[in-house]
Structures are given as structure tokens and as C-alpha cells.
């Protein structure tokens, strides 16, 4: 009550409301406060009162321990598509030769700008053209060739692992590494390579010659890498 008495006289109601708390505390000054009377509770609220439980369970008894069953074994892999891809490639590309043709880890791999020839099993004539896009999607990997059929520019997507493809032959490498991943600018007339039949014919002649000499290089075109080594 001494603290209440020291409060400004013009605000008697406020000082009454403050009760036992000293006015100095509200002013935040470094004054040694007198101890509060011990008869009054320091805190009035839920913490000062005993807890009320509405559960039929008596208070402060431990809750029933729920048994937690262990989980069963998870599938062997989370990469389901990867597992499925390797499973399919085991039959579609058992030697891995086709995969190496377009692999990013292979330095001698086919790159965009190279001229390729694709032979098919279904009796259609082989298609040759410049490689303008590689779409790497595991077993669904495909590549886009741009060539000419009857003087009309034609683009064909081939699925690398398709069983209908007999062979992918590297006819000619690009003179310089292309600075783009997709050579769609080659569709423009000023960049269009046009007919590649002359280059393919020359390649076929060379190959026949090598084969006639009975060299081992006859196997080269399918792999592509060996062909490159010859050039070196």
C-alpha cells in the first residue's frame, strides 16, 4: 500500500487498479522494490488452479500404451521406372551397343549434326539425314533425322531401342561440334543441308571397298566408334 500512496495523486483510480504492484515498476527505473505481501498470490489464472479432467480416467494415471506394429518390407527399389528400363534393355539391347551410340559418357558417341542412316526391318528403304535432336528417355530414347524424300524436306523420329530398327549407321561426322543441343535452325532454307544422298552413296562405296578387301573394319559402321577411330 505504500507503493499506491507514492503514485501520482491525480490518477487515484489507476493506482487503485494496479493494486499491490508498485508504480516504480511501470516506470522501468532501477529502484529497489519492496517485497510484495506474501498473502496475495503472485499469479492469478489457470496455472494457480488445479487441473480439471473430464475423462473417466483418474487424473495423473499413465495413458494406455498403444501397440505399434512394425512395417512390412518395402519394395526393393523406389526407382520403378529405372528397374523397368533395365529389365527391358536386357532384351532390347543385350550388348549395350545401341545405348553407347547416344550415351553422354561415350566420347565417341553420335552427336547432333552428324549424318546418320537408319535401316529398318519392315522392308522400308533406309532413311538418311542429319541428326538434329536426341531425346534421351531411357528405353524410350529417340532421335530426329532431317533428310529429303523426293526433294521434299522430311523429318523422322526414330526410337533407338525399337525392335523394328535394324541398324543405325554413322555416315559422316559433323565437321565442328554444334553449339546447340537441338538444330532446329536447320529447317530454315539458309541452313538446310538438303539432300544427303551423295554423302551416303560415297559412304556406301567406301564401305563396300573395305569389305571387299576383307578388313575387320566392315563391322565398323554399326558401332560408330570404330569408324571414328579410322578417321584419326
Partner 1 sequence: MPLKIPTAACLRPRHVSRTAVHSFIVGRSQFTTSAPNAFGLRPKRVSSSGSPVLLEASRAAALARRQLPDRTGALAYKTGMTAIYTPEGVRIPCTVLQLDRVQVTAVKDRKTHGYWAVQVGLGWRNPKNVTRPMLGHYENCGVAPKKLLREFRVKDEKGLLSPGTQIKADHFLVGQFVDVRANSKGKGFAGGMKRWGWSGQPASHGNSLTHRAMGSAGQSQGGGSRVLPGKRMAGRMGGEQHTVQNLKVLKVQPELGIVVVSGCVSGPKGCVVELQDAIKKPMPVIS
Binding site for partner 1 (CB under 8 A): 63, 66-78, 80-81, 83-85, 87-88, 92, 121, 137-140, 159, 161-164
Smallest gap from Cβ 132 to partner 1, in A, equals 21
145 touches 186 (CB < 8 A): no
Least distance from partner 1 to the Cβ atom of residue 114, Å: 24
Q: Between 92 and 210, whose beta carbon lies closer to partner 1?
A: 92
Place of cell 498470490: 41
Contact yes or no for 130/114 (Cβ under 8 A): yes
The residue (of 18 and 159) whose beta carbon lies closer to partner 1 is 159
133 vs 204 by CB, closer to partner 1: 133
| Neighbouring residues of 102: CB distance < 8 A, sequence distance ≥ 6 | 109, 110, 134, 136, 141, 143, 160
Return the closest-CA partner of residue 173 out of 216, 228, 220. Answer: 228
- 42 vs 78 by CB, closer to partner 1: 78
What is the DSSP secondary-structure string of 137-181?
A: -GGG-EEEEEEEETTEEEEEEEETT-TTEEEEEEEE--SS--S-S
User: From the CB of 67, what's the least distance to partner 1, in Å?
Assistant: 5
As measured in angstroms, the least distance from the Cβ of 137 to partner 1 is 7
Nearest distance from C-beta of residue 96 to partner 1, angstroms: 17
Give bridge partners of residue 170 from the DSSP assignment. 116
DSSP single-letter state for residue 130: E
Name the phi and psi angles at 72, rounded to 5: -80, 170
Q: In this complex, which beta carbon is closest to partner 1, that of residue 25 or of residue 80?
A: 80
Amino acid at each position: 500500500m505504500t507503493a499506491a500512496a507514492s503514485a501520482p495523486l491525480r490518477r487515484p483510480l489507476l493506482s487503485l487498479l494496479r493494486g499491490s504492484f508498485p508504480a516504480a515498476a511501470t516506470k522501468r527505473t532501477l529502484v529497489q522494490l519492496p517485497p510484495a505481501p506474501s498473502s496475495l498470490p503472485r499469479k492469478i489464472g489457470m496455472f494457480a488452479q488445479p487441473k480439471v479432467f473430464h475423462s473417466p480416467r483418474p487424473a495423473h494415471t499413465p495413458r494406455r500404451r498403444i501397440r505399434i506394429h512394425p512395417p512390412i518390407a518395402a519394395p526393393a527399389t523406389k526407382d520403378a521406372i529405372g528397374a523397368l528400363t533395365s529389365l527391358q534393355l536386357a532384351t532390347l539391347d543385350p550388348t549395350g551397343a545401341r545405348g553407347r551410340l547416344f550415351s553422354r559418357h561415350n566420347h565417341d558417341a553420335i552427336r547432333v549434326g552428324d549424318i546418320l542412316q537408319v535401316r529398318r526391318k519392315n522392308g522400308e528403304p533406309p532413311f538418311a539425314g542429319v541428326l538434329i535432336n536426341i531425346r534421351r528417355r531411357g528405353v524410350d530414347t529417340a532421335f530426329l533425322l532431317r533428310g529429303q524424300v523426293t526433294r521434299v524436306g522430311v523429318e523422322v523420329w526414330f526410337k533407338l531401342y525399337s525392335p523394328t530398327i535394324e541398324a543405325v549407321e554413322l555416315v559422316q561426322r559433323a565437321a565442328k561440334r554444334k553449339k546447340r543441343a537441338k538444330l532446329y535452325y536447320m529447317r530454315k532454307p539458309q541452313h538446310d543441308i538438303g539432300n544427303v544422298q551423295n554423302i551416303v552413296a560415297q559412304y556406301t562405296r567406301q564401305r563396300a571397298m573395305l569389305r571387299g578387301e576383307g578388313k575387320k573394319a566392315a563391322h565398323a559402321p554399326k558401332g560408330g566408334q570404330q569408324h571414328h577411330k579410322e578417321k584419326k
